[in-house]
Amino acid sequence: MPGHRSLRLALAVVTVLALVGPAPAADPSGVAIMKKQRETQRLKDEEERQALKLIGKSGATKERKLVRYLLSGPGDLDKILVRFLAPRDVENTGLLTWEGKDGNDDQWLYLPTVKKPKRIAASGKKNRFLGTDFSYEDLRAENVAVNTYALVGSEAVDGVDCFVIDATPATERQASDSGYGRRRIWVRKDTLVTVKREYYDKKAKLEKVETHRKLVNVAGPVWRADEVEMHDVVNGTRTVITVEARAVNRGLKDDFFTETELVR
């Protein structure tokens, strides 16, 4: 498909030029790529219904379902409401997050049995999210303010050229809060979408590999993966998130991301 190839090449050139501005030739910096990604891949709001398949070492599977709402706020800070739909024992459990500067998030957990939302310290970022192979921090958007990003090269993933970027904590707080010493991120040059991440622990040992598949163009330049797999290479477990339904930019209001909606 030579036509497609030249289109991709053109896109890549345009993207790179856009990243580096008028000065030609030099590769864009890692942080410039990540900032541009954050800028171009951001939506006003999103709603996703997700099915999570947890695959154990032996191949045994468990399933979870949830709905996730996100509202982009000023200063690159999002508000996120997650409500679990299945299985029965976690049904209607809700987690509301207001992202804060320097990772100081406000977070409330609603357990239907307790019948009231409870403010929780957002300390469990390293912890596995609902027994999956994703930790809370894996599910957050990149916070470019608390990480450094170094462009370490280019590499093709599924035949598509990608920037390869190493992300490391830039602040003491992030180094302490994060479960990782380094993350390697593959960002497509044509669309600036992340397609793969490798997570290394603080001893530089590979812990997990995250792969994004079934990319769909959801609005303008914005792409999302309909399938994300996290493979814990240490424990031999996998989690596959499949997006079953998605709605974007439908005008969710700030009022939706409050205690009132969390307990509803």
- Binding stretches for another protein (CB under 8 A): 62, 87-89, 91, 100, 104, 106, 114-116, 118-124, 126-128, 130-131, 179, 235, 254-255, 258-260, 264
Report the DSSP beta bridge partners of residue 66: 50, 84
Give the nearest distance from C-beta 16 to another protein in angstroms: 39
Q: Which is nearer to another protein, 159 or 255 (CB)?
A: 255
Q: Which is nearer to another protein, 100 or 153 (CB)?
A: 100
Which two structure tokens, joined as six digits, stand for 8? 């991709």
Q: Which is nearer to another protein, 45 or 190 (CB)?
A: 45
Give the nearest distance from C-beta 6 to another protein in angstroms: 48
- State residue 72 phi and psi, 5-degree precision: -75, 130
Tallying the residues shown for the chain, one arrives at: 264
Give the nearest distance from C-beta 9 to another protein in angstroms: 44
Give the nearest distance from C-beta 17 to another protein in angstroms: 42
State in Å, rounded, how far the first CA of the chain is from the last one.
Answer: 51
Beta-sheet pairing, 206-219 with 194-200 = antiparallel
Cβ-Cβ contacts under 8 Å for 195 (sequence gap 6 or more): 157, 158, 160, 162, 186, 187, 188, 211, 212, 215, 225
Q: Which is nearer to another protein, 16 or 263 (CB)?
A: 263
